[in-house]
A and B are shown apart, each in its own frame.
Chain A
């Protein structure tokens, strides 16, 4: 039985916009086990980063309801000092844009050293430097002694992302959240960074939350996948099940918008439009309904719940049963950008 690392139950994170609260993360429940990659996919603006920030306790102005437990202990609303004991030591995060995720005025060595300085106080200065050099080596940075004294602007994007990763894994966290770690990078660099993250998982036995909108990345990296739409998880399953039998109309539409499924689109219903902004989401009823105009009004559920269709395979809403695709076209290979 896999060991539970992170368990989120009915998490709701709302932002205050003009005296009203809008939920960017709504009723999200999921678990991450040790030595497992959980991918979270969804269009841009669907709340992936908001979810990651909620887990790391980075929202300062948001209202958070529900429960996030890390190794059995609730971490929602705990004091900053308690949270700071976990962050950087037990959990780490990799950001999307390596250009902005490093302090422009701090030497690389000091940035990575900061995590060690905070959680590994018994290390002497020279030991710390040794450890930082080791980390730089581990993430594949050539000439680490030299890079140690460089500033972020002297490094390329790929190198900077390696530094960001080195910082996040300095204390070998059990949980690593990677928020679109390769989106800002060239294709060739992307696969190197992904390989690196994969190696880390095997090395450290960590649980990894990998946020992406790239189904190719999902296919390559994930053990389980959660599909997110407008702040909610609409389907969650292990990666093979999800790719072979996607149930929720949104999941299917994600696969259909993969470029090589182009002709399939002519025969299927195409989901149009984009994720509505927080203020424009329907406040009652299913958040997805406005984008499925061809479904009968009665077929929609008022508050679609998660249903477990098979062990470990959850779908929001039962009306996928009413939702019939003209004919099951064999899903082709899924890679490329959604």
Chain B
């Protein structure tokens, strides 16, 4: 009896587990030094901006100080001040936090809507799919920029939340389309048929079977979307449709560069914000590509 159980022990140990999803991802990131560095950078920056934002007094930072206009970086202001005498370094921190928050909110919300929409359309197919795809096409042909600009103009005081919601309304279609086409393929696989023959309801099949099996696609797409969404707020602010000055953001800092004087002589106002946007986008993108490689065995490095 004892020998028997020992034998079982031994056998179970010799069965090698093929690496699970998470360890594959981890291995891929560690192997790709750039992705690892990017990840460390992202975690560090996020911890820093969300951490200091708690102790920083936003009111204090956005308060106009006429005696400290356009100060160059120095002892009192590490990164100098803007035309209202406001601390650039503080604005950079709060701006990074706001831009990151928007990017994350928009990514999560578009991801949620896109995934549910795509799964339902793809899985049920037929008339349901037809109708849903027409709805999607409708959103696609709406003049996105124009509507956002009008909205920004008529809503007097909008926040990170309202901004993210408007953006979400126009940015969920890409991921919905992608998920739909994967769901269309996935639902023809035998394990889905097998689940049906057990009497599993469609909703359960969608969320218990299809979703987990396309989760790597969801994660990779959302990461790459996150990179794109970081530049979202900056682009609009640069065009002059950004946040009010009471809400510092990377885009506002960047838009100071539209003033030729600032562009040429007061680099400290816009360079740090530009570098921050660039670094954030690159870093998220690097992590995203490593994730994509990890989920695609053909591209994997090891």
Contact = CB atoms under 8 A, between A and B. Distances in A.
A81 B193 CA distance: 16
Contact of A58 (B125, B191, B197): B197
Nearest to B213: A105
Interface stretch (A85-93, A199-207, A277-285): A85-93
Interface in B129-181: none
A93 B198 CA distance: 8
Interface stretch (A96-104, A133-141, A190-198, A312-320): A96-104
B18 to A, nearest CB: 6
Nearest to A99: B190
24 contacts: A56-B196, A57-B196, A60-B125, A60-B126, A84-B199, A85-B199, A87-B198, A88-B197, A88-B198, A92-B198, A95-B194, A100-B190, A101-B191, A101-B194, A102-B194, A103-B213, A106-B209, A106-B212, A114-B198, A115-B199, A118-B198, A118-B200, A153-B18, A154-B17
A237 interface: no
Contact of A115 (B8, B18, B125, B198): B198
Contacts of A146: 8, 12
B194 A93 contact: yes
A159 to B, nearest CB: 12
Interface string B209-221: 1001100000000
Contacts, number: 83
A85 B198 CA distance: 9
B185 interface: no
A115 B209 CA distance: 14
B261 interface: no
Contacts of A91: 197
Interface in B102-131: 124-126
Contacts of B197: 56, 58, 87-88, 91-93, 168
Main secondary structure of the interface of B (DSSP, over half): helix
Nearest to B17: A154
B15 interface: yes
A87 B189 contact: no
B201 interface: yes
Contacts of B125: 60-61
A63 to B, nearest CB: 12
B259 interface: no
B190 A97 contact: yes
Given A115-B198, A118-B199, A154 B191 contact: no
Given A61-B125, A154-B18, A104 B191 contact: yes
